[in-house]
Each structure stands twice: as structure tokens, then as C-alpha cells.
């Protein structure tokens, strides 16, 4: 074999060997390229989602701020009002409608309910109240005794109590005094809850006992008459 032929044969063998080696590497390169493409696509998608989340974050914060503001406004509107200042117990107002114990009196036959010129009197009630029979032996001579604990004083209180329809365990006597004569008295009372204040005018009937003659429903508390 000549030198030219030998050189030509080696060249062909080298080219074949290189081609064979390249053919072996081709699948590996293709796989590596595929992995690179997948990584590149994943990186692009991850960055896109991160940017989207960052772009949405201010909107979320704004929405949170709006929701918080709305909640505070609702709480403000729904907060209970401050309680009104309690009324002065010495300025308690009442009417026939507000005093349950007086309700039966309004229905009684012959009762009269009128207005009064007195600015502190809501209404004036008059009727033919029965006499509270006395247990005292007056011998035809009687003068009202305003000393607590005496039989005379107890019967006077009983007469006032009967006029306002209050029981003995639900009444306060604010005032028991003279009404301008030896046989006339005036008694100011209320219930235990001080729903209102009532003034009863009582007159002594000889040989019989005490008789209520007038009832005033007061607008404000009066304890000296």
C-alpha cells in the first residue's frame, strides 16, 4: 500500500470514529437541552407569579384598610348610646296613668278627676270615700293628735292609705300635718319605689272616724305638706 492510500485510509477511519462519537453524544446533549428548557420555563413562570403577587399586595392592603375602616364605622354606629342622666329623686313626675295603684280609682263610680291651678299638681281626685271607723272613745270631743304611735295617728294614716289604694307594707309617709283646722289633716305619701307622690286631705267626722275628702297627684316630690 502506498503512502497516499495509507493516509487516505486513516483519514476515513478518523472521520468515522469522530462521527460515531458525536452520534453517541447526541442523545445526552438533547436531554441536557431539554432539562435546560424546562428549568428556563420554570424560572420564567416563578418570576411571573412572584411579580403578580407583589403587584396584588398593595390592593390587598388597601382592601384590608377599607374593611377595617368599615368595621370601625359599624362598631361606632352600633355602640350603645350613653345612658341618660338619672332623674333627680326629688323631681319625680307622675300621672294617673303612671301610678298603677290609682288605676282602680279611675273606674269607680262617682269619682271626679280634674285639673288644678296649682303648678305642682297633676290632677285632683275627689269621690265619696268611706269613713274609716274609729276605735277610740272620744266622748263627742276630738282633736287630731299628730304624735306617732298613738291610736289617733294610726287611724289618720289608715284613712290616707285607703284613699291612695296602697298597702301598709308599700307606703311611705312623707308628711302628716294640720290642714288649717283642728279636725282637718293633710298627708303626703308615696309607694316604696317612689313611683310618684300623692297628697291626701282627711277630715274627722264626729263619732265616726277619719274620712278622705280629696286626693292630689303631685308632679314633684313635696315633703313639707
Whether the full predicted model's pTM is greater than 0.75, yes or no, is no
Cβ–Cβ under 8 Å, residues 127 and 143: no
- pLDDT at position 148 is 92
Give the cell for residue 59.
390592593
- pLDDT at position 28 is 63
For residue 36, count CB atoms less than 10 angstroms from its CB and return exposed for 0-12, middle for 13-18, buried for 19 or more. exposed
- pLDDT at position 83 is 44
Map residue 202 onto helix, strand or coil.
Answer: strand
In this structure, which long-range contacts are made by residues 182-189, counting pairs with CB atoms below 8 Å and at least 24 apart in sequence? 182/143, 182/144, 183/142, 183/143, 183/144, 184/144, 185/144, 185/146, 185/156, 185/210, 186/225, 187/156, 187/157, 187/160, 188/218, 188/222, 188/223, 188/225, 189/160, 189/161, 189/164
Over the stretch 98-135, which tens digit does the pLDDT of each residue have?
677 677 777 777 788 899 999 999 889 999 999 999 99
E strand spans, 127-221: 132-133, 172-181, 184-190, 197-205, 209-218
Cα Dmax for the chain? 182
Residues of the chain whose pLDDT is less than 70? 1-30, 32-33, 46-98, 101
- pLDDT at position 173 is 95
Map residue 137 onto helix, strand or coil.
Answer: coil
- Structural domain spans, the chain: 1-79, 91-218
Instruction: Please compute Rg for the chain using Cα positions.
Output: 53
- pLDDT at position 91 is 39
Cβ–Cβ under 8 Å, residues 152 and 144: yes
Amino acid at each position: 500500500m502506498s503512502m497516499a492510500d495509507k493516509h487516505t485510509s486513516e483519514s476515513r477511519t478518523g472521520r468515522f470514529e469522530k462521527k460515531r462519537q458525536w452520534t453517541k453524544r447526541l442523545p445526552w446533549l438533547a436531554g441536557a437541552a431539554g432539562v435546560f428548557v424546562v428549568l428556563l420555563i420554570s424560572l420564567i413562570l416563578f418570576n411571573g407569579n412572584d411579580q403578580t403577587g407583589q403587584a396584588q399586595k398593595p390592593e390587598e392592603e388597601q382592601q384590608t384598610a377599607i374593611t377595617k375602616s368599615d368595621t370601625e364605622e359599624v362598631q361606632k354606629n352600633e355602640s350603645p348610646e350613653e345612658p341618660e342622666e338619672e332623674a333627680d329623686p326629688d323631681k319625680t313626675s307622675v300621672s294617673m296613668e303612671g301610678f298603677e295603684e290609682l288605676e282602680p280609682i279611675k273606674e269607680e263610680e262617682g269619682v271626679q278627676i280634674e285639673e288644678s291651678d296649682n303648678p305642682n299638681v297633676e290632677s285632683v281626685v275627689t269621690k265619696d270615700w268611706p269613713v274609716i271607723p274609729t276605735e277610740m272613745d272620744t266622748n263627742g270631743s276630738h282633736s287630731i293628735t299628730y304624735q306617732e304611735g298613738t291610736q289617733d295617728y294610726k287611724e289618720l294614716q289608715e284613712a290616707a292609705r285607703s284613699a291612695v289604694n296602697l298597702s301598709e307594707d308599700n307606703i311611705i309617709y312623707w308628711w302628716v300635718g294640720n290642714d288649717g283646722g283642728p279636725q282637718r289633716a293633710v298627708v303626703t305619701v308615696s309607694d316604696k319605689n317612689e313611683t310618684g307622690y300623692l297628697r291626701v286631705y282627711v277630715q274627722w267626722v264626729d263619732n265616726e272616724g277619719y274620712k278622705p275628702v280629696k286626693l292630689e297627684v303631685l308632679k314633684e316630690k313635696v315633703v313639707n305638706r
